[in-house]
Each structure stands twice: as C-alpha cells, then as structure tokens.
Chains A and B, each alone.
Chain A
C-alpha cells in the first residue's frame, strides 16, 4: 500500500523517507528504556528541532520550514515508528496542540517569546484544558483567573496534561467570568514558576509520555499573556480540535501500518505444526481482515485530511475519521497481540516483541483522548 495516494505527492514521500531514517536511527532504539523510565529526555526536542521537525508547518519567519499540514501529517504518521506512543504523544502535544494556538491567535510578541523557541526545541509547551471535573465537557471548566493590577491571578487544577511536568509554558484555559461557559473562558500563556505545581501521573499506556496534574496556586500571569480575545477562549479550543482529531486519526493509521507489517513478518517466520503461522488459513484471514481495516482507515482519514487542507471545515469527516480509526487501531493491536501469542504478552527483555503489548496499551487511549468515541457519536448524531 505504498502507492502515491492523494493528497500526498512525491515531495511528501521524500520527506517521509528522511523522517523515517532519523526516527529509526535516533529515537526507536531508546523506546524501550524510555517506556520503563516513564520519561523521555528533553533532548528529544532539541534533536527533532535540529532536523527542522518541530516547525514543519510554521512560516520561515518564525524559524519554521514553511510547509503545511500535509508535511505535518507525514511527521505524525512516521512518529509511530518510534514504537512508543508516549514519546510520539509528547512530541505531538508540543507540535500539534500547544503551539498552534500561539501561531494562530498569538501576537508578534507571543510568537517571539514562545513559538520561536518552541520551534527551536528550547522551550517545551503544553496545552492545559482538562480538569478533574471537566473533560469532554469543556464548558464546565473551573480554573479561575481573577483580574488584578497588570494581569490575572490563576487558581485551579488541570489534569491529564501531556508534557505537564517538563513544560516551560502552558497554554491554559481559564474562566475569566463567574459563569464561565462558552463566552466566559479565556486562554493565558502561563510560564513555569512558583505556584505551578506538577505531579506525574501513572498510566495504562503512553508510559514514556510525561503526563501530569498541574495545580495553580495564586499564579500571577501578566496581562500581555492573554492569548486571543478575552472571554472568547472557547473559539481557540474549537479551532484546533479538528486538527488534533485528524492528527490522532493519522497517528492511528501510521501505528496500524507499522504493527501490521511487524506482525505479518512475525507470522511469516514463526513456525507451528510444521509451517509458518501465516501458512494457516485462519491466521492469513486475520491478517487480511486487519489489512482491510488499515486501508479503510487510511482512505477515510486521507479524505478528511484533503478536505481539511482545502479549507472545507470537514467537521463530519474528521469526527468520523477519529471515531473509526481509534477503535479500529485498538482492535488491530489486540489482534496483533493474539497472533504473537505468549510472546506478545511479554514486556521488556522477556520476549522477542515487547512493542506488541505496549502498542495495545498505547492504542487504548485513542477512543478516550481528543474527544471520546461517545462524544464523536454525539457530534455526528447531531449533524445528521
């Protein structure tokens, strides 16, 4: 399935090859250790920046590569080759959710202070929206920014924040009116400082990702760190949802492809009853079913991507792609585990394929993160 497929062209495939080479050389060999450590080092960001990979879609005047969402899409697919969902997630949070609002809604000063060093890998960003009492239902946010002389004082708690321990700045959703809700939320860029207290969380998967609860205790944020219009932060949230969900769909397509390839290879080598696993019809049909699922997910996701890049606002298509791919990816990973048998269940040095059980755990987040399956169905149900 390596034919050139719209919307990608030759140029994107060259980029793909170069990113893949870099990732397989510099990142993949360390994935197992980072997973055990529940942390990947910050130098991953500087290494990525050295290749220009943190600013593919950003304009050259800010130190980016001047590409577009299609180049970014290639990166997202290839990041899955690290074999560590958590590492891909940390990079993705920086590139796909924390920095885009600054690029789109930030002032020149914001871009100079946060976006440009972020593209250089010198400052690491996080997007802080979810709270203990508000996940998919963002209108229920409670973190409060109280106006004071020269800015705000922020109090509240955010959770499940990717890059939450290491982030130098957090693009944070806060209530700026008593009621909050759709016209009472604003975004502030909060720098790490005293009063910002992060605590790492331990997860089913995405282990190498630094995911944290962040408490804000009387944190002062200067007035100039307001991102976008006051009280209109809901727009910022909505503006990037489509790309975030599309990015998740692309990530799943990439991850499914890698897992399928590795599993097919394993099935061709592993012998049972005197022949390779793939010589048994039941296993061959499993692999065929899985390949069909990969291709289906790819077609749906690429169509949504093409529409997104064309400026069509494809809310329906993106929601469908997110819903379909996240569940399909988890199911595929589970089948990969099944084909690997006992070897698939082993971790670390205990088996020949420790990436398999990790991939299943990593994939389980898909139907939850970025808007759960149920939220996707709700959006779609209301559109129909």
Chain B
C-alpha cells in the first residue's frame, strides 16, 4: 500500500516480473538471451544475405531450446506454455526476424499439430528428431490462390488403395527449402466444405515434391521461403495427420498458437527496437543536447512505451487464459491484431527518431521495419483478425 514516504520514490528501476512468470522462466530467459547474443546476433548481417544455416537448429536442439514446452517423453523439456513464450521473446536478441520466424514455424506451428493429432509412430518419426534439431519441419497452408481464405485451398489428396496421391501447389512456405517434412493441408473431399480437409505429413524428399522457387521478400531475409509444387506425390495412408475430414479444424487450432507466439514476438521485437533507439537518443546530439532530452522526442518514447506495454499485457493475459485451458480465439485475434500494428508503428517511429541514420542499413532499424511489416499479413491478415473478432460477437 502506498504511504506518503514511499510514493515520492518510485521504484521504476526494479525488476517487474509479470505474474505468469516464475523464477525458472527468468533463468531460461537469461540463458536464451545469452545464447542469442553470443551465438546468433554476430552473424545476423551475414544471414540476411545467405539465410541462416541449418546448424542453428542442431545447436538449439543440443541446448534443449526446441522443445521447451514439449513432453519429456519425446525429448522435450516438459515446461509450460509460458516457457515457449520466453523463447519467442528472447530470440529477438538474434537481431533477425527471419531466423525467429524459421524457428517459430518449426517449434510452434508445425510441431504442435503432430503432437496433438499425430500417432505414436508419427511423433517418434518426426517430433523426436525435430526436438533434437536433426530434422526440420515446415507447414503448408497457403496456396497461390488461397491465403487467408483457408477454405479455398485446392491441393488435392486422392485415395489410391492404401495410399493417397497428392497434387497441388503451396506458396510462401517458410523453411520450405530446408525442411525434411511438411505438414500439408489438403482437400480430401471437395464436396464436404469445411469437413473436406485432411492433413498429411509429407517427407520433402518424396518423388514429385518440387521446390520451384526461393522467393524474394521485402523483409525476413534470413528465412527461406518457398514456392512448392506437388505432382502425383504418393504417400501411405499412415501419413495422414489427425482425422480425415478434420483438417480444417486442426489447422484453425494450430493458428491460435501461432498467432499467440507471433504476438509475443512482436512485443519483444518492438521493445528491442525501442531500447536500441532510446540508447541512440541519449547519445545523439542536436542543437547542443541529446535529442532524447527534447520534450517532443521524450513524449514519442512515452507513447511508444505505453503502446508496447499495452501489447505485452494483452499477450500475457491472453496467454494466461490459453495456458489455463480456455480457447480464447477472440482475444488471441485481438492480441495478434494489436501487436502486429503496434510493432509496425513503433519501428516506424524508431526510424523517425534515428533520422537519416534510421534509413541506413547499418543501424538495423530499417530491417526491423521491413521484418515487422509481415506480421500484419502473415498468420491471418489484420482484416481477417477483424472479421474473426467481429463475427465472434455474432455480428
């Protein structure tokens, strides 16, 4: 409780741990951060040109970072959901949006559906080596003619005896060139609407899987992004992931976790960009003093800090519900929508504060600006989030 003595001495320098995190999360935070700063960040600029190497997966597998919230029986650390959020937050210290995205696709997009819907055999075959970093996963939803409108997916899987034959095309697939397996969304019954989709685990070295193109992007340059074609790819029926005809619902569930982790990443990336810019504003002088001491710049920081904090509270509170067994699709969509926009606005304001320097590659802010822009598009656009939220009220 406030007293007359204490209120004059705010403790804003104190550590302000949120209630969802325990000491073990803070220890994990420290170790992921150190790893990212020491082993990843020094290579960030180079990886923007070359994409990051597969050895990042094996190294992180060794360190136990690829299965933080995954069950111990498959080689995971058996931690809670919040430990996965710690990874998403701290990996931003690698200074590479593309690397963070490549990892998230592996640990938080492709792996959860295998664990949730897969057979024991599938888990042993893919999850165990994936947690070790020996096999790399990707996820195939988007097609040249179907993005946010998942129901418009055309890739077909047709039963042929004990097998399925798959034909179609997938695009914007992160890890698409390096992955060993793809969690593929296909249509198995074109007449059944939402009930006509099924997932498959398709090894990427299967005959007929064609890696057509390395796609070039505005940002996220360190990630590998593919256009893929599937031409008469034959897989056994045992490659089906989850129930036949339930693929749409499986993938809608997957998207919730993906959006949550993406939102946590947005908050962390915005915070990092903010910290970096704050340091700059304290050093850079104009008109005889550090620019951070001009009121207008100071207020820009206050506004940014407030927006970032708002995003953080949205993410933590929603993650708390998610981890406690609720399925808060509406709130996850809100967190995804808000944090993606917020990260873009913060990155833009950071460029503004840097002035000409912000426009130069050297200062790394323009990279954040380009990387963050994807968040308003990927994993469901802003407009899709708004539609999900609106419809959740029966509107």
> Interface segment, A35-43, A77-85, A121-129, A300-308?
A300-308
Residue pair B306, A323 in contact (C-beta under 8 Å)? yes
Given A285-B390, A324-B306, the answer on whether A295 and B331 have CB atoms closer than 8 Å is yes
Q: Is B6 an interface residue (CB 8 A)?
A: yes
Candidate in B311, B387, B390 with the most chain A CB atoms within 10 angstroms: B390
215-274 of chain A: CB within 8 A of chain B: 228, 232, 235-236, 238-239, 241-243, 264, 267-268
B337 touches A236 (CB 8 A): no
Could you give, for residues 373-395 of chain B, a 1 whenever the CB lies within 8 Å of some chain A CB and a 0 otherwise? 00000000001011111110111
Does residue A317 face the partner (Cβ distance < 8 Å to B)? yes
A105 interface hit (Cβ, 8 Å): yes
In the complex, chain B residues whose CB is within 8 Å of the CB of A289 = 386
A3-B321, A302-B317 known; A292+B389 contact, CB < 8 A: yes
Which residues of chain A in 369-384 are interfacial with respect to chain B, using CB atoms and an 8 Å cutoff? 374, 376-384
A315-B311 Cα distance, complex, nearest whole Å: 18
Instruction: Establish whether residues B12 and A316, one from each chain, have CB atoms under 8 Å apart when the complex forms.
Output: yes
Interfacial chain A residues near B388, Cβ < 8 Å: 288
Give the contact-size bracket for chain B.
Answer: 35 or more
The docked-state distance in angstroms from the alpha carbon of A180 to that of B333 is 52
- Beta-carbon contact of B299 and A384 below 8 Å: no
Minimal beta-carbon separation of A244 from chain B (angstroms): 12
Q: How many Å lie between the Cα of A368 and that of B245 in the bound state? A: 56
**A178 sits at the interface (CB 8 A):** no
What is the bound-complex CA distance between A370 and B175, given in angstroms? Answer: 52
- B65 at the A/B interface (Cβ < 8 Å)? no
Asked whether B309 is an interface residue with its Cβ less than 8 Å from the other chain, the reply is: yes
| Residues of chain A with a CB closer than 8 A to B3's CB | 239
A281 interface residue per 8 A CB criterion? yes
Is residue B8 contacting chain A, with contact meaning CB distance below 8 A?
yes
Contacts of B314 in A (CB 8 A): 295-296, 299
* B299 close to A235 (CB less than 8 A): no
Q: Considering the chains assembled together, what is the distance between the CA atoms of A129 and B295 in angstroms?
A: 26
A228 and B5 CA atoms in complex are apart in Å by: 12
Residue of A nearest to B282 (CB): A384
Q: Are B2 and A239 in contact (CB under 8 A)?
A: yes
User: Across the interface, which residues of A come within 8 angstroms of B11, CB to CB?
Assistant: 312-313
Interface check A343, CB cutoff 8 A: no
A384 touches B302 (CB 8 A): yes
Mask: chain A, 1-23; 1 = CB below 8 Å from B; 0 = not = 10101100000000000000000
Give the distance in Å from the alpha carbon of A3 to the alpha carbon of B320 in the complex. Answer: 12
Instruction: Tell me the minimal C-beta distance from A330 to chain B in angstroms.
Output: 15
Interface residues on A, range: 35 or more
Contacts of B309 in A (CB 8 A): 300, 317, 320
Bound-state Cα–Cα, A291 to B389, Å: 8
User: Which residue from chain A places its CB closest to the CB of B393 in the assembled complex?
Assistant: A264
B278 contacts chain A at the CB level, 8 A cutoff: yes
- A83 to chain B minimum Cβ distance, whole angstroms, is 21
B255 at the interface (CB under 8 A from A): no
Residue B160 at the A interface, CB < 8 A?
no
Which residues does chain B contribute within 8 Å of A296, judged by CB atoms? 310-311, 313-314, 334, 338
A211 at the interface (CB under 8 A from B): no
Q: Are A313 and B7 in contact (CB under 8 A)?
A: yes
Q: Give which listed residue, A279, A288, A295, contacts B386 with CB less than 8 A.
A: A288
Pick the contact of A299 from B278, B310, B393 — CB < 8 Å?
A: B310
A residues lining the B interface (CB < 8 Å): 1, 3, 5-6, 104-105, 228, 232, 235-236, 238-239, 241-243, 264, 267-268, 278-279, 281, 284-285, 287-289, 291-292, 295-297, 299-300, 302-303, 306-308, 311-317, 320, 323-324, 374, 376-384
Other A-B pairs beyond A1-B330, A238-B4, A296-B314, 20, CB < 8 Å? A1-B331, A235-B5, A242-B2, A268-B395, A288-B389, A291-B334, A296-B334, A300-B309, A303-B313, A314-B16, A316-B10, A317-B16, A320-B305, A323-B302, A378-B295, A380-B301, A381-B302, A382-B298, A383-B12, A384-B305
Taking Cβ atoms with an 8 Å cutoff, the residues of B that contact A are 1-8, 10-12, 16, 18-19, 278, 295, 298-299, 301-303, 305-307, 309-311, 313-314, 316-318, 320-321, 326, 330-331, 334, 337-338, 383, 385-391, 393-395
| Those 4 A-B pairs whose CB atoms lie nearest each other, nearest first | A381-B298, A380-B302, A288-B389, A284-B390
